A and B are shown apart, each in its own frame.
Chain A
């Protein structure tokens, strides 16, 4: 049995140790925020935060998440109040189809925690998630805007 917390909720799962965290979240725990895009850690649609660090959960065995805090896009807002990244994503109308955006926002939130005022170079280096609709210009714009919002509690 593997124990972890998902979006603040403690859970226990009886699965193979090498089962990727993505499929434990989606198919076992019915947490549908993280998405499957490639399965080889290339696209980032499956990004979740493990103890605050962005992780491509399609290639991350659930055993590595034992006793850790996992946050998916559903858990980014705190107490119903959207995270500054989420507010900026809406204000800048970033998403088109939206499939990659959960991963993009979590990666951006982690970047902002590491670097509250990221430069364009910081954003280029951190934001490697694929967006097939091509919303990159607005992602960059929204990250800069989120950096200016009052820090989250």
Chain B
């Protein structure tokens, strides 16, 4: 799988929870040369979105200025039980998404 998410399994309504994600991606700068001197084309995750029960709560525009295998940690208010969806697209147009559920008492 191309990403690992860390999210509290359950939270109290109104509690601010910490969300972490580690994505497998080389974030190519476009400067690297492979063994037979060909430039590896630039390819970085450009947009990243996190929705909570369908509502966008966090969005990021990234670049090769973010290290390979991007790590992101942000926070959100626990509103209601449901599902968080993390989705991203890179320069090569590759789309990926992962989902993680949460119980809010």
Are A and B in direct contact (Cβ within 8 Å)? no
Spell out B's residues near A (CB within 8 Å): none
